[in-house]
Amino acid sequence: MTVIRDMTELSMMSITDWNNSEVEHFHHSFQQILPYLNAEGQTIYKEIIEEIERRQKSL
């Protein structure tokens, strides 16, 4: 079973250091609450999307 660290811990590290499960989990979570995100949340969500795209290109 994969352990997904909470956002408090992850926010203190580079998104490139997140594991794939964490990126996927928070992408789904942010996607669900997108209409309610403030500017900071939208910025984090954009970074998650960019990280997903970066990882897909490196495959």
pLDDT given for residue 2 in this prediction: 84
Distances (CA, A) of 56 to 16, 40, 44, 51, 52: 13, 25, 19, 9, 6
Q: How many CA atoms lie within 13 A of 44 on its CB side?
A: 21
| Residues sharing a CB contact under 8 Å with residue 5, sequence separation 6 or more, in sequence order | 22
- Condensed to tens digits (0 to 9), the pLDDT of residues 10-54 reads 999 999 999 999 999 999 999 999 999 999 999 999 999 999 999
pLDDT at 57 over 90: yes
pLDDT given for residue 38 in this prediction: 98
